[in-house]
Amino acid sequence: MKFSEENPRGNGMIWAYLIHLSYNMWADREVPGREYYSAKPYLRFDDGLWSDLLERMADVGINMLVIDLGDGVKYESHPEIAVHNAWTVSRLKEELSRIRELGIEPIPKLNFSTAHDTWLGPYSRCVSTDTYYEVCRDLIHEVIEIFDKPRFFHLGMDEETAQHQKEYRYVVIRQYDLWWHDLYFLVREVEKRGVRPWIWSDRLWRHPDEFFEKMPKSVLQSNWYYGSEFSEDVTYVKAYLDLEEHGYDQIPTGSTWSFPENFQKTVSYCMEHIAPERLLGFLQTVWKPTLEACRRDHIEAIEIVGKAIEGVKGK
């Protein structure tokens, strides 16, 4: 089924960009040849670049900013996980006001996947314990309060496999009912506060039957694919179709990670194959820290979104 003629244009469509305050989400050790891959005890973030990117996002029409907070905030509930030079809560609130003044909706992200939770510090080694649940609950509730009850809360939950942790010193993989138990716990804590949970959808790739049996429709889905071939013969692309067939709301995700043209192709393909009432918008990712050395990557990714927005409005 094709939906391109019915899809909403411009108004109401989410055009989102993912940015990192903290970049401590991968290896817990130095990995030769993998720039930025290793966690650091200090904040990797450039204020000047941040300001410039916000202005450019507003200029091109990006209307949502997903902020991966990690250990980049000195949380009042758990200041012990903060890295050196982490933002204070008051600084974060000031920046959120600034983002809103630019017409951009800020959305929090804390990735609770065990493949991306180095930011949790000692608690990343307490997964699925009472201590872990208490810390996760505290952080979720505090972040929702800081963001003044945001529309969504991105929980991550991607790539929790042995392959994705092969460079780590400490490997944790939740399987079977335990993964679902912890997902349900996180979802419940977000929904308790009147916020909609949002996750990466890649568990679907390896466990489709289980996914569609157990994943609540209330959880917003972001399948992601960064390649250039858009065909249902590609597992990662077919996931968009499967999510649509099963009636899930989606924000498909593209990236400049492999091919600059990926985001535009994602927009074109998904607007043709996902019903407008379930296609909330799109998310662009660059997977680089917010550092001056990565300015060109960020600007390119933002400009690509702007061109996609113009293309949609022009139809």
Q: How many CA atoms lie within 13 A of 257 on its CB side?
A: 14
The number of distinct structural domains making up the chain is 1
Predicted local confidence at residue 47, as pLDDT = 98
Domain assignment present for residue 44? The answer is yes
Domain assignment present for residue 2? The answer is no
Closest to 152 (Cα-Cα) out of 18, 242, 24, 263: 18
What distances in angstroms separate CA 21 from CA 110, 286, 288, one per listed residue?
Answer: 11, 13, 11
Do the Cβ atoms of 132 and 44 come closer than 8 Å?
no
Domain assignment present for residue 6? The answer is no
- Which tokens is 111 given? 């990735």
Domain assignment present for residue 3? The answer is no
Calpha distance 151→174 (Å, rounded): 28
Domain assignment present for residue 4? The answer is no
Q: Residue 156's domain is classified under what CATH number? A: 3.20.20.80
127-148 burial: b if 16+ Cβ within 10 Å, else e: beeeebbebbbebbebbbebbe
Predicted local confidence at residue 314, as pLDDT = 77
Domain assignment present for residue 7? The answer is no
- Which tokens is 86 given? 């982490």
Domain assignment present for residue 25? The answer is yes
Predicted local confidence at residue 11, as pLDDT = 56
Closest to 141 (Cα-Cα) out of 104, 180, 185: 185
Task: Note down pLDDT in tens along the chain; length 315 residues.
Answer: 333 333 333 458 999 999 999 999 999 999 999 999 999 999 999 999 999 999 999 999 999 999 999 999 999 999 999 999 999 999 999 999 999 999 999 999 999 999 999 999 999 999 999 999 999 999 999 999 999 999 999 999 999 999 999 999 999 999 999 999 999 999 999 999 999 999 999 999 999 999 999 999 999 999 999 999 999 999 999 999 999 999 999 999 999 999 999 999 999 999 999 999 999 999 999 999 999 999 999 999 999 999 999 999 876
pTM of the model: 0.96
113 lies in which domain range?
14-313
Do the Cβ atoms of 81 and 131 come closer than 8 Å?
no
